[in-house]
Structure 1
Amino acid sequence: MSPDAVPRNKNFEHFLRSGMAGGVAGCVAKTVVAPLDRVKILFQASNPDYQKYAGSWSGAFRAGAQIYADTGIRGLLQGHSATLLRVFPYAAVKFVAYDQVHDILMPTRAQETNLRRFSAGAISGAISVFFTYPLELVRVRMAFQTRPTTSLSPNIRPTFLSAARTIYHEGTPTASQTSRQLFHSFPVLKFYRGFTVSMVGMVPYAGTAFLTWGFLRAKLLPPGARHTPLADLGIGALSGALAQTVSYPFEVVRRRMQVGGLTQPDRWLRWGETVRAVWARGGFRGFYVGLSIGYLKVVPMNAVSFAVWQGMKRFLDL
């Protein structure tokens, strides 16, 4: 068989091993950057207790130091249990979907183009977001909360189940009669706050990440070259940096919409008003608040994710 050809005899066991490789890669990468992720969410969602630190790299470390002083290592990892519950299926679906879409759009190396690389990444990212978004929303709510929900239990941190119950019992957003009836009939839709902006933001993020990943590997690692973990780390880091830059404004808007149930529980924040609120608060720079932390988080996260993914594929004979 030609070295450029893609094998088609992929059975169920292959998909399971592929999903395991992607899921493990996502969990390892997220664990590495979990403390930075907590701080970034607090900055993006304008948590009033930590806005004084926003806007600089040193502020991120000071915020992390305050969290550690107040609540210890558990505070830095608050919401991480929900992160792992979300990330394993998210990463598994994303990498499995990418492999399949890649094979369909680019069955041979000669058919690889930048547009197809971007499309494969965007499609796989969209598929993974659709299936795992409710878990992402619960994770953000857990990370955003810095004050106890009741004075009777000041030391109790939000759990996955308590955050999920809070979302489920939030009031129906004020909207048209049809929308209110829809939310009354399908309360699960409350777990999709900010879903549209998340889906739109995933297209440039995943598309750019996989485009850069495929392009650099094609240019720097010719056929037959040995793919070392160090090369995977470097290419993954560059992929993450470019993807973060392109998609970051969407991420800020998404975070604001996701925590809308806490800041304005009786309303469903829309795209337009959320964008206007971000602009009114910080202008153009408001859409990039926390970006420095984003780089600190996304660059190593993508580097580790891609490297562990490739390592797991080699280990599992994929």
Structure 2
Amino acid sequence: MPSYVTDANLNSYQLAFCGGVAGVVSRFVISPLDVVKIRMQLQTHRTHFKFKGETPPHVKYSRVMPALKTILREEGIRGLYKGNLPAEYLYLSYSAVEFWAYKELETLLEKLDSNQILPRTSKTFLAGMMAGTAATSATYPFDLLRTRFAIQGEHKHYTGMAQAIRHIYRQEGLRGLYQGLWPTVVQIMPYMGLLFTGYDAIAGAFKVLRDEQILPASYKPTHDMISGALSGILSKTAIYPFDVVRKRMQVQGPYLSDYIVPAPKIQTSGQMTLWSCFKNIVQQEGARSLYKGLMPSLIKVAPANAVTFLVFEESKKILLWWKEDEG
């Protein structure tokens, strides 16, 4: 039985098209918040769970709105869209691969579980987890480039996509394009599993209420947006520390500290592992620092997933209408 995400009348390539469209639209909407989140994540001041006076004067990006104003004032509107081109490539390819893989994996799991032994939530979680892993591995260099572009200051170390890829490959080798892949995969597996499971459960509940005419069918787009926003918030909060570690690992390596704002005080000789990076952040900056940038991330993830699933569902509707009209 297809989940709420998929449709028996659409194949995996058609769902990949819907996912790609949704990814592009979603990325453009949330780009400024993504830049703020990355800048906050890469600040290395010590944070505390209890409020201790005013924010230290050396902390440049402390809250969302002041950070947006600072970037806008110092770097202009283009500063809020730094890294947007590689990010658009990332969201386009990532979402296309993700929804294609989800459909394929869901079909495979249904065949393997022909007796319906596994509960639907387990299969949705597994399909989402594996689809996220496949999409992440396939598109990771775009994610790394998005981060590198987003943290540049006035001195432009990277001037374009091709130049950035050549520079990273020359200075850091092929491995440089995959800095932080392991913590990303560790993060994305539970995140995407929880995201698809949460969306399927919440959107499915709305569908039941619509079918029973408790809620009007005309509000389906709103229900899809609410389902996407809530599932995104819950899953992002659960795995957020891995996102901070991933960003720190992405800006490791030589030749970076003079070109990024702010320059994170992290190990640059040799390669820091996932767990040593965790330990380093907790020891030097405090445990709460694993949640730096959480607020802009949640402010970002809610509309991002709301828009993604809304556009995805509307794209599905258009394709189904087109197929019926052709038939």
Matching residue of 1:279 = 282
Are residues 1:253 and 2:245 paired? yes
SS at match of 1:213: helix
Matching residue of 2:84 = 80
CA distance in 2, matches of 1:216, 1:189: 40
Q: 222-231 or 78-87: which moved more?
A: 222-231
Change (3 A) 1:140 1:51: farther
Query: Equivalent residues in 2 for 1:143-292 (5 A)?
Result: 143-149=150-156, 158-171=159-172, 187-222=173-208, 225=211, 226=217, 228-261=220-253, 262-263=256-257, 265-292=268-295
CA distance in 1, matches of 2:153, 2:291: 22
CA distance in 1, matches of 2:286, 2:128: 31
Q: Which amino acid aligns with 2:303?
A: P
Q: Which runs of 5+ in 1 are unaligned?
A: 151-156, 172-186
CA distance in 2, matches of 1:298, 1:3: 25
Q: Which amino acid aligns with 2:234?
A: L
- Give the superposed CA RMSD: 2.7
Q: Which amino acid aligns with 2:243?
A: E
Q: Which amino acid aligns with 2:71?
A: I
* Cα deviation code 1:44-101 (max 9, x no counterpart): 12279x972445xxx2211111111122111110100010111101000101111222
Matching residue of 2:306 = 303
Are residues 1:137 and 2:144 paired? yes
Q: Which amino acid aligns with 2:76?
A: G
* Cα deviation code 1:104-158 (max 9, x no counterpart): 32479x76522222111101100100100011111110111113057xxxxxx73
Change (3 A) 1:68 1:224: closer
CA distance in 2, matches of 1:212, 1:7: 18
Are residues 1:121 and 2:121 paired? no
Aligned length: 287
CA distance in 1, matches of 2:226, 2:295: 19
* Cα deviation code 1:200-226 (max 9, x no counterpart): 100111011001011112323129834
Matching residue of 2:35 = 38
Structure 1 residue ranges, 4+ long, deviating more than 6 angstroms after superposition: 6-10
For the Cα contact (< 8 Å) 1:106–1:112, is it kept in 2?
no
Q: Which amino acid aligns with 1:31?
A: F
Q: Percent sequence identity over matched residues?
A: 32
Q: Which amino acid aligns with 1:165?
A: R
SS at match of 2:208: coil
Q: Which TM-score applies when normalising by structure 1?
A: 0.82
Q: 15-24 or 246-255: which moved more?
A: 15-24
Matching residue of 2:15 = 18
CA distance in 2, matches of 1:28, 1:250: 26
CA distance in 1, matches of 2:187, 2:60: 26
Change (3 A) 1:216 1:7: closer
Deviation at 1:3, TM superposition (A): 9.8
CA distance in 2, matches of 1:74, 1:218: 40
For the Cα contact (< 8 Å) 1:33–1:297, is it kept in 2?
yes
For the Cα contact (< 8 Å) 1:54–1:289, is it kept in 2?
no
Matching residue of 1:101 = 105
CA distance in 2, matches of 1:33, 1:27: 10
Q: 67-76 or 32-41: which moved more?
A: 67-76
Change (3 A) 1:314 1:148: same
Deviation at 1:169, TM superposition (A): 2.1
